Amino acid sequence: MELESIIFDVDGTIVNNSNIIIRLFKVLVKRYTGKDMSTQDVVSLWGPPGNEIFKRVFPSEVLGQAWQEFLVEYRKSHPTAGYFTVDDFNIMKSKVKYLAIFTGKSRETLKISLETLGFNDIFDYIMTGNDVERSKPYPDALFQIIGVLNLNKTNTIFIGDSPLDIIAGKSAGIKTAAATWGSVELDNLLATNPDFVFKSPNDFKEFILNE
């Protein structure tokens, strides 16, 4: 496979924060609605951006307050280092033409992640869940990335930790890679039959360097 471009998911793929998001969400749901949610309950909502998920769960009278509290707590608890370093991305950039992002995250939470990790100047194109009418598992954002960067689908790979990532990548007609290191749905991730499976960030980096 002659690799030209890599499209990354973020949560659970670039940074170890999926469990932080799940924990914060559970706390806020309990605080504002009195309901207890399991991890699976939370994960089952994933796909749309966070602000849209909040609209589905929180009553309108507390929605704004709950979302703002989530953003504040998310920034406070966000890891300051990711699974990859700036040097790692620069090394990968020396091997491929483009690095891009397709995340179901909202623009606001992605901004926090990229700023906290120091990744603002790494990626050539970014799509969030707020940038398309249909987020994961739909491939709409991937089609836009492919179109804007004029990518060759055969030479493009999308890596993510969620079954939704693999489904979206397959629907877009590009190669898919499972980032098992950050997945909270490992069995479901593997059941989607990704083209490649990587057990660690270093395994993926080595794969890129050897392509």
Name the percent of the chain lying above pLDDT 90. 98
Range of the domain at 41: 18-77
CA distance linking residue 143 with residue 130, whole number of Å: 15
Angle at 187 between CA 123 and CA 57, to 5 degrees: 70
- Residue 1 pLDDT more than 80? no
Q: Are residues 102 and 155 in the same domain?
A: yes
pTM recorded for the entire structure:
0.94
Residue 155: per-residue pLDDT: 96
211 falls in which pLDDT band (50, 70, 90)? confident
Q: Are residues 118 and 197 in the same domain?
A: yes
Residue ending a domain, choose from 77, 105, 122 = 77
CATH number at residue 115: 3.40.50.1000
For residues 205 and 88, the answer to whether their CB atoms sit within 8 Å is yes
Per-residue model confidence as pLDDT tens digits over 99-129: 999 999 999 999 999 999 999 999 999 999 9
